[in-house]
Amino acid sequence: MKLLQSPAVRVGLSISIATGLYGVSFGALSVTSGLDFWQTMALSLLLFSGGSQFAFIGVVAGGGSGVAAMGAATLLGMRNGIYGMQINALLQPRGLLRFAAAHVTIDESTATSTGQTDPLEQKRGFWTAGLGIFILWNVFTAVGALAGGALGDPKQWGLDGAAVAAFLGLLWPRLKGREPVAIAVVCALATVLAVPFVPAGVPILVAAVVAAAIGWFSHGRSDEGLEPDVDPYAEHPHTHPQGDAT
Partner 1 sequence: MTLWMWLLLSCVLAYGWKLLGYLVPASVLRDPRMSRIAGTMTIGLLASLTIVNTVASGQALVLDARLGALAAAGIALMLRAPFLVVVLAGAGAAAGLRLMGWS
80-119 binders of partner 1 (CB under 8 A):
80-89, 93, 98-99, 101-103, 105
Query: How many CB atoms sit inside 10 A of residue 184's CB?
Result: 17
Nearer to partner 1, 9 or 35 (CB): 35
Angle between helix 23-32 and helix 159-171 axes, rounded to 10 deg: 130
Chosen residue from 69, 111, 133, 136 binding partner 1 by CB under 8 A: 69
CB of 228 to partner 1, least distance (A): 11
CB of 115 to partner 1, least distance (A): 18
Residues of span 27-66 touching partner 1 by CB under 8 A: 35, 39, 42-43, 46-49, 51-52, 54-56, 58-63, 65-66
Nearer to partner 1, 125 or 154 (CB): 154
CB of 5 to partner 1, least distance (A): 26
Nearer to partner 1, 2 or 94 (CB): 94
Nearer to partner 1, 102 or 146 (CB): 102
Residues of span 180-199 touching partner 1 by CB under 8 A: 180, 183-188, 190-192, 195-199
Residues of span 130-159 touching partner 1 by CB under 8 A: 155-159
Residues of span 209-238 touching partner 1 by CB under 8 A: 210-212, 214-216, 218, 220-226, 237-238
User: Does 178 contact partner 1 by CB under 8 A?
Assistant: no
Return the closest-CA partner of residue 34 out of 137, 178, 154. Answer: 154
Query: How many CB atoms sit inside 10 A of residue 70's CB?
Result: 15
Query: How many CB atoms sit inside 10 A of residue 44's CB?
Result: 24
